[in-house]
Structure 1
Amino acid sequence: MNPKIHHLVTSLALATFVSAEPSTAPDRHDFFYAGEAKTQDMYVVGKGQVLWSYHNPGSRGEISDAVRLSNGRILFAHQYGVTLIDSQTKDNKVLWHHDAPAGCEIHTASPIGTERVVFLQNGPEPKCVVMNITTGQVEREFPLEVGNPKSTHGQFRHAELTTAGTLLVAHMDHGKVSEYDDHGKELWTAKFPGPWAASRLANGNTLVTGTKLVRELNPAGETVWELTTADLPDQGIRSFQIATRLANGNTLVNNWVNSWSETIDPETAPAQALEITPDKKVAWVLRWWKGPNALGPSTTLQLPDSPRIQNFRFGEFH
């Protein structure tokens, strides 16, 4: 064979082989990152480099939910409270803070416009709360049904506003996902085993995650796509928490590692996030356990075009 042709064939074969492997390039996505861990840590990553970080080593409570807005403000729920900071200031100035009442927990919060926040309060009387962050006043609250009112920690982890001005709530200990209006009327519901998070997709379907399962449900509650740990046998999946549908049709899902019950060895720790194609191939893997800015356990990985950064309304609140 002509040496030039042989070189071309070899190169094409190599390119085909390499493209079949999942990418591990840290600059594949720019993202905001936070996770449930023993300390409160958050990061902004751009072009494969940490551009901003937040560390609170003396913190109490895990970061279960966080959203970075386009103006650089970051709202995060950290079990015993919810806080809004300005990441554009040198000291990450606290703009607003609310403590969870004794015996209660707050694991999820979303901004409504620029003056309000909606959050779920776990506890003996679980509820949804709309609070004005400029006045500190509660402007609306309604009760939420749970599986066990005495088990505060296991009731809720994530809720998310939709473009229709409703709230999707993952009833973790109640085995369902429900959509509510701003008065607490249940508009839609579907059964799901131990849901951790849910988001409404542009096609009207709902993407739901549980510990070992990601499922896309249509409005009738029927499964149209599903990802399980069996589909990822070599990825060391511990616990899915939040999944995001990307513009290219792939699904980005985090893989949380419990640092309270497992010793995390940076050399052998599993992926923190994976990008999965519709046919369940791994397109990208994030492993960033080493170095001074090791990202740590993963709960949320928000891309710059995330719908959560929009100033959603919640019924009459906007």
Structure 2
Amino acid sequence: MKPFKKVSFSALVLILGLMTSFSKQSTAQTAAADKPAAPTTLPGNGLKHFDFFYAGEAKSRNMYIVRNGKITWSYIDTVGRGEISDAILMDNGNVLFAHQFGVTLINRDKKVLWKYDAPEGFETHTAQLIGKDHVVFVQNGNPAKVFVMNIRTNKVVKEFVLPFKSGTHGQIRHARLTKAGTLLIAHMDLGKINEYDVNGKILNSIDAPGAWSGVELNNGNILIASNDHYVREVARDGKTVWDFDLKELPDYKIAPQVAQRLPNGNILVNSWFNQWDGKIDETNRPVQAIEIMPDKKIVWALSSWDAPANLGPATIIQLLKDPNNAGYEKAHFGNIK
């Protein structure tokens, strides 16, 4: 048996230091993993807090209407593919939704009224109706483009190329028409909110790292939700008016995609869960949405993961009694109405 070699005092100190460091890292990692995704008791009135239309990026393509705390309408697509990144409920009950590899318009009876299939190698994550005859949508790919299509004739009436980086899936998720008839596009890959006229001219560009969505507010400012875990109101000149770093929330893990200002002045933010990274920890389930007061107090949080109202991940939450949503019926893009 070989005798043990003597260890110098300096080497012993180094070994003990490394052991302490590893212990601290392990403790920190365990603490991070054990951090609650949401408080045990949530503020607000759960599913009864609002009546709303709901859809989200998930492995299944599901959409719901919730009234008085119960699901009163649902659309479950069991034969398609892709994820629902955008959806709008119209006053007549029709729903336009973008589902990664196409755009579809259905009526309240779930009959398909119009459908567009993206070419191989391209993706469509956002779309909006213009009047009764046109749809504007963004198509990711090489090149990324904006299309306006007449859904009666199924012909493209306007198209233009967008600035983009390589990597189709990560380019653009959300676009919305403004009251002036321009198009706000959140370039997630570029870290920009760009505003375009109907001919593709860039009218304005605002730095917005990780921007998932940017929507125009009634005061003309833009409300941004970002993959970098912030929600921010900015003026058209890019000056920050209000900012909330959601990573600073001590009791919630929030992954925002779309933010909107409610009639009461509060801000509603969805919280997405990535089903491709694994299943939800049933002992530590995240919320699907939060309502934030201007002073950053959370007054409502939604967590509905159980039957009969398992809503799944949240991307789109459109309140049924929000007068701001009436603008969807009057949208125009330049002279296209």
Instruction: Give the TM-score normalised by the residue count of structure 2.
Output: 0.85
What is the aligned counterpart of 2:277 among 236, 247, 261? 261
With 166-175 and 51-60 compared, the bigger mean Cα shift is at 51-60
Match of 1:115 among 110, 126, 133: 133
2:90 matches 1:69: yes
Counterpart in 1 of 2:18? none
Native 8 Å contact 1:111 1:311 kept in 2: no
The aligned residue for residue 229 of structure 1 is 246
Give, in whole Å, the separation in 1 of the partners of 2:331 and 2:282.
Answer: 38
Contact 1:166/1:315 (<8 A) preserved: yes
Aligned equivalent of 2:201: 185
Contact 1:31 1:45 in 2 (8 A): yes
Is 1:199 aligned to residue 215 of structure 2?
A: yes
42-51 or 223-232, larger mean C-alpha shift: 223-232
Q: Does 1:84 align with 2:102?
A: no
For the Cα contact (< 8 Å) 2:70–2:309, is it kept in 1? no
Give 1:312's aligned residue.
Answer: 331
Number of aligned positions between the proteins: 293
Deviations 1:294-313 (A, max 9, x none): 00000110112243533200
Q: Post-superposition shift, 1:231?
A: 3.6
Normalised to the residue count of structure 1, the TM-score between the two structures is 0.89
Is 1:275 matched with 2:294?
Answer: no
Give me the whole-angstrom Cα distance separating, in 2, the residues matched to 1:160 and 1:135: 23
Within 2, Cα distance between the matches of 1:316 and 1:284? 40
Aligned amino acid, residue 129 of structure 2: P
* Inter-partner Cα distance in structure 1 for 2:305 and 2:186: 29
Q: Within 5 Å, which residues of 2 pair with 1:32-111?
A: 32-87=53-108, 89=109, 92-111=110-129
* Counterpart Cα distance in 2 of 1:221 and 1:68: 30
* Inter-partner Cα distance in structure 1 for 2:84 and 2:283: 24
Structure 1 residue 21, shift from structure 2 partner: 7.2
**1:231–1:280 CA contact under 8 A, matched in 2:** no
Aligned-pair distance for 1:27? 1.4
CA distance in 2, matches of 1:64, 1:271: 18
| Cα distance, 1:264 vs structure 2 | 1.4
Equivalent in the alignment of 1:242: 258
Structure 1 match to 2:232: 215
Separation in 2, partners of 1:102, 1:230: 37
Task: Give the Cα–Cα distance (whole angstroms) in 1 for the partners of residues 313 and 42 of structure 2.
Answer: 24
* 1:153 partnered with 2:169: yes
Distance across 1 between alignment mates of 2:83 and 2:250: 28
How far 1:101 moved relative to its partner?
A: 0.8
Max Rg structure: 2
- CA shift at 1:267, angstroms? 4.6
Aligned to 1:128: 146
